[in-house]
Amino acid sequence: MTKKPTVKDAESLPLEARVAQCVTSFAAPKTTQDSVDQLAAEFATANYLRTYAEKRYDTIKRSVMESYETDVAVLRNDATETMSKSKQVITGQDWCLYLSANKPSTRCDVDDLRTELVRLGVNVDTIDRAISKVSKKSTPAFSISAARAE
């Protein structure tokens, strides 16, 4: 049997190790030996951990963006003007915030493009062939959820 670390031992670990230890040691609910039950209980537990971690991440990201609103605006403007990634480091006493803004992406509304090309006199069949040739289908989204059977 492995020794469970004491609070003092856990606090001396790097933050990443402490978080990993917290997540991996959080037990899923006890269940039967049925493989569906085991997988569903583990999945539900992992999903709750992920959901609350994402909420915490979104909350602190919003807080950073509000606290450094001017820096964020400058980074985004710089990324837009240069069409390249823009970065900045904000240094505290013990930690650093690494801010970055990616270059803006271009999106095309195919229906609006088709309408505009028809207005310009391009043949609809030609438009449809061209759009079909350059279009790529994505892999269909797949999701899993788990809940207690009733």
pLDDT for the residue 33: 84
Measured CA distances, 120 to 109, 115, 128, 135, 144 (Å):
17, 9, 15, 22, 46
pLDDT for the residue 141: 86
pLDDT for the residue 5: 57
pLDDT for the residue 106: 86
Q: At what angle do helices 35-67 and 69-82 cross, to 10 degrees?
A: 100
pLDDT tens by residue, the chain, 150 residues:
555 555 566 668 899 999 999 999 999 988 888 889 999 999 999 999 999 999 999 999 999 999 999 999 999 999 999 999 999 999 999 999 999 999 888 889 999 999 999 999 999 999 999 999 999 888 888 888 888 887
Q: How far apart are CA 131 and CA 124, in angstroms?
A: 10
- Residue labelled with tokens 């069949």: 125
CB 75 within 8 A of CB 100: yes
Q: How far apart are CA 3 and CA 8, in angstroms?
A: 14
Q: Which tokens is 81 given?
A: 């003007």
Going from N- to C-terminal start, the domains of the chain cover 1-67, 68-102, 106-133
pLDDT for the residue 62: 96
